[in-house]
Structure formats: C-alpha cells, structure tokens
Chain A
Amino acid sequence: MIILAIETSCDETSASVLKSTGGRLELLSNVVSSQIDIHKQYGGVVPEVAARHHVQNINPVIMEALETAKIKPQKLSYLAVVSGPGLITSLIVGVEAAKALSVAWQKPLINVNHMYSHIAGNFLSKVEFPAVCLVVSGGHTELVLLKNYSQFKKIGQTVDDAAGEAFDKVAKLLGLGYPGGPAVALKATEFLISNFQFSKISLPRPLINSGDFNFSFSGLKTAVLYTAQKMKKKELEQRTSEICYEFQQAVVDVLVGKTMKAAQKHKVKTVLMAGGVAANKKLRESLRESVEAKGLKFGVPEFRLCTDNAAMVAIAGYYLAKKKRPSRDDWKKVKVNPNWELK
C-alpha cells in the first residue's frame, strides 16, 4: 500500500508518502513548509496569512513529496487528508487540493482527524495495547484511551486553555517571545543551572486531584501574572527564570500526574505522548521516568513527527484504510470540520 497524505490544519503545509510492505511501514518522504517565522511577529498564527501561504505552497510541497519518494501518482493506493480540527481557512486548502487530486488521479481519499494523526505518529513501530496517549499542543490537551490502532476514546481534555497555549501566554506576559514553549523551557533550564535549590515561588497545580482526567491551565497562567505583578521591575528581571522553572514544573506535574492516573485506572500496557508540546524535554523525561517506574512501555514520536506534519497523517490513513477499505467516491463525503472532536 502506498499513501500520499496532506496536512494543512494550522501553519505548516505538509505532504508525505508512506509505503507499507507486509505490515512494515516506511516513510518515503515528509515535506514540511513551516510558516513559523512569518507568524512570529504576530505572537501566534494569523489565519488569513496562513491560508494565503498554504495556497502558495500546497502544489510545490505535494510535488516535492512525490519526487523525493520517487513515486508517480499512478503508483499510489490512497490519498489521505486532515479535515479537522484546525483553522477552517487553512484546512480548506489541503482538503480541496486532496479532493481535486482524488478525482483527477482516481484514487480513494481517506478522511483523517488531526488529533488521531498526532497519536498515529507513534505507530511507526509496534504498540502494545491497551494504551493511553497524552496529546498536548498549542491548541489541544487531551487524554485518549486506545483499544487498538484504530479504536479509541477521549477520556479527558482541557476545560479552558491548552498546555501549549499556557506556555505561549506566559512567555508573552514575561516578554519572552513566540513560540513560548522553547522560550520558557530555556529560561527554566537557566534557573536549574544557576541554582542548586528549589524555587521559592509556588504556583498551583490545577485540578491535579479532581478525580477525572480533565485539565485546566487558565488559572495557572493568571497565577503567573499575579506573581509577576507583585515584583518590582528589577526583581522580575532576576527571577524570570525562576518563574519559568516553577511554571513548567506545575504544567509537567499536572500532565504527568493525570496521565499516570489514567494509565492505572484503565490498566494500560503502554503510555504514549504526541503533539508539539511533547517536544518539551522536561515533560518527556518526567513522563518516561514515571511510566517506566511502573513497568509500563513508553512511546513518543521522534521530534519531527511531534509537530504538525503529513507523515503522521499517512500513518493514520494506513490504519484507517486497513479498518475500512476506502472507495473512489469517498471524496464526496470529505468536508472541512474545524471543530471535529475525537469521541
């Protein structure tokens, strides 16, 4: 089976070719055209600007993915595309391109959920089920329980801000720039290096003992604001790294704590992680330690498969195609759905 996948849900235009030989998956190409430098000046993604760049990039990116893979369109088995959740103006570019190619090349089109594709980034190697996956990104924070590669259920989510968004907002209010994740993480490391003591700042761990698997990061961000407001300018300059350290620790404590509780309750064999925030080293290492201490398997995609990319969409498409054979008319049913939630 050879799949060409397309992903344009936010600010990355991406296309990828995946080949499966007897169940062994091989990525032949994964082209990502990032707009991060363009959106930096706005402190976040600007939908209309993103859409225009997707329109410019979509054809060259698809062609490059096919050329790098040395695959002609006739050789493809299926096309796959993300139709939600995401920015409607971005999604529509990838979806319309995929539908047009599906008709032109007479290849069935597989409809993929963006959140499921993040999880599928873990499926290049074999996974022992049941598994629980923590999906954390700029727009999402969810816990998903997996029965197998294509059957899953959302068991918890943020009730306000996503974890990545909290990093972005804290970075903004501390004047650290965009994207906030790497900036805050770097500052936190500075504190760790220069101080062999614990942070004297104490921030809340929201909902950590709530008994369910939901998250809340809005109040944590506000607590950071109040902490910063109480300090004089000079003190704030000196203690910014300490605030970052404590903030990151609070986010990690909650994410790891809840994920482990979910793992225990549902007696999983494997704990997975996905999404852009999975790139945060502190979070990765803390979760890995907790998971392995319980004798469970831990999995996280390599970095390039954590941020938005089409390779994970191709992998998701492969498992969906195995579950239900796609047909050539499927493109008619594919519609952009910016609020498509995992059930």
Chain B
Amino acid sequence: MKYITKSERETLNVAEKFVQRLKGGEVLCLIGDLGSGKTAFTKGLAKGLGVKNIITSPTFVLLKSYTAKLKNINKLVHIDAYRLDSGAELDYIGVEEYFSDKNCITVIEWADRVKDIWPVNAIEIKFKVLKGNKREIHIK
C-alpha cells in the first residue's frame, strides 16, 4: 500500500491509522534516507499504541523500550540500526526475544543495514522524499 504525505503531521497520521492493523508480534522494518519520515512514523505508531513517553532517538543507545497500551500490545521497542553494518550487534543484546513476543511491536529504523536478522514475518516499510517536501510511504 502506498501513501503520499505532505507534512510530518500527515506521516504521523498514516502511522497512527496503520496501528489498527497490528495484532502484536509484528516487526516493522523502516527503510529510507535521513529526513524521509521514519522517526515521524514511529512517533505516530507510539501515539496509536497509547505510549505516554516522548519518543526520542535511540541512535545513541541502539534500542529503547516503551510501555504500550492497546488491546494485547503492551510494549513498543524502537531500534535504530543507523550505526550498524550487520545485525550481529542487535543479536548480542537479545532483540530476538522481542521479535518473538506476541505482545510487543518492534520498529527498526535503517533496517536495510541489518537485513541478516529480519524475521520471516518482517513488514517492510519504505520512505522516499519526493519534490515539494512530499513523502512516499510504501508499506509492503
């Protein structure tokens, strides 16, 4: 499914609506350049999932975990692979536990850098910067 958004707010809204399709246990793999809307999308997901905290960049710590409140979903895990060249490092800190957790939604930004650890059920979401500050969001 493809969406064209004209502002950060619209990107956030797409994500917030997308949450309705999640059942828990999904791993969302976000791919796109700097400034293409990945973080805005994650903020929208958090909002839709009822996360109370402000979603800040996990680049420095690689992974941040938040309490979610939507049906059976009680956790949002936000991973940033920006600094990584492979998934080994994420493997070491135990991300597989989150991948197999049916009450958890995992989001990986810069997921193309860690393709080696994508689970079979990974949902790929691509972000593109178009002319005039527009963004294309492609959910596969």
Tell me whether A and B are bound partners. yes
The answer to whether B93 touches A89 (Cβ under 8 A) is yes
Chain B, range 28-85, C-beta contacts under 8 Å to A: 33-35, 39, 53-57, 59-62, 64-66, 82-83
Cβ of A242 within 8 Å of any chain B Cβ, yes or no, is no
The answer to whether A165 touches B64 (Cβ under 8 A) is no
Chain B positions within 8 Å of A157 at CB level: 54, 56
User: What is the distance, in angstroms, from B68's C-beta to the closest C-beta of chain A?
Assistant: 14
Question: Which positions in B face A, CB cutoff 8 Å?
Answer: 33-35, 39, 53-57, 59-62, 64-66, 82-83, 89, 92-93
The answer to whether A86 touches B57 (Cβ under 8 A) is no
Give the size category of A's interface with B: 20 to 34
Cβ of A207 within 8 Å of any chain B Cβ, yes or no, is no
**Which residue of A87, A165, A173 is within 8 Å of B57 (Cβ)?**
A165
The answer to whether B61 touches A139 (Cβ under 8 A) is yes
The answer to whether B34 touches A160 (Cβ under 8 A) is no
Chain A positions within 8 Å of B62 at CB level: 47, 87
With A47-B93, A48-B92 known as contacts, the answer to whether A221 contacts B34 (CB < 8 A) is: yes
Cβ of A43 within 8 Å of any chain B Cβ, yes or no, is yes
Cβ of A45 within 8 Å of any chain B Cβ, yes or no, is yes
The answer to whether A222 touches B35 (Cβ under 8 A) is yes
Chain B positions within 8 Å of A169 at CB level: 34, 59, 82
Question: Which positions in A face B, CB cutoff 8 Å?
Answer: 42-48, 86-89, 138-139, 157-162, 164-165, 169, 173, 218-219, 221-222, 225-226, 338-339, 341
User: What is the distance, in angstroms, from A209's C-beta to the closest C-beta of chain B?
Assistant: 18
**Which residue of B55, B82, B92 is within 8 Å of A47 (Cβ)?**
B92
**Other than the known A45-B60, A173-B34, what 13 A-B pairs have Cβ atoms closer than 8 Å?**
A42-B83, A44-B59, A47-B93, A138-B60, A160-B39, A160-B55, A160-B56, A165-B59, A169-B34, A222-B35, A338-B61, A339-B65, A341-B53
Chain A positions within 8 Å of B35 at CB level: 218-219, 221-222, 225-226
The answer to whether A222 touches B34 (Cβ under 8 A) is yes
The answer to whether A162 touches B56 (Cβ under 8 A) is yes
Chain B positions within 8 Å of A89 at CB level: 93
The answer to whether A48 touches B93 (Cβ under 8 A) is yes
Closest to A85 in B: B61
With A218-B39, A339-B64 known as contacts, the answer to whether A47 contacts B89 (CB < 8 A) is: yes
Closest to A223 in B: B35
Closest to B54 in A: A159
Chain A positions within 8 Å of B56 at CB level: 157-162
A-B contacts, 18 of them at CB < 8 A, read A44-B59, A44-B60, A47-B92, A86-B61, A139-B60, A157-B56, A161-B59, A165-B59, A169-B34, A169-B59, A169-B82, A218-B39, A218-B57, A222-B35, A225-B33, A339-B64, A339-B65, A341-B53
Chain A positions within 8 Å of B39 at CB level: 160, 218
**Which residue of B54, B83, B92 is within 8 Å of A44 (Cβ)?**
B83
State A47–B88 Cα separation when bound (angstroms): 11
User: What is the distance, in angstroms, from B105's C-beta to the closest C-beta of chain A?
Assistant: 17
User: What is the distance, in angstroms, from A323's C-beta to the closest C-beta of chain B?
Assistant: 27
State A247–B88 Cα separation when bound (angstroms): 34
Chain A positions within 8 Å of B54 at CB level: 157, 159
Which of B53, B66, B92 has the most chain A CB atoms inside 10 A of its CB?
B92
State A45–B62 Cα separation when bound (angstroms): 9
Which of B33, B60, B65 has the most chain A CB atoms inside 10 A of its CB?
B60
With A43-B83, A157-B54, A160-B39 known as contacts, the answer to whether A225 contacts B59 (CB < 8 A) is: no
State A46–B35 Cα separation when bound (angstroms): 24
Chain B positions within 8 Å of A46 at CB level: 89
User: What is the distance, in angstroms, from B80's C-beta to the closest C-beta of chain A?
Assistant: 10
State A86–B62 Cα separation when bound (angstroms): 11
User: What is the distance, in angstroms, from B15's C-beta to the closest C-beta of chain A?
Assistant: 15
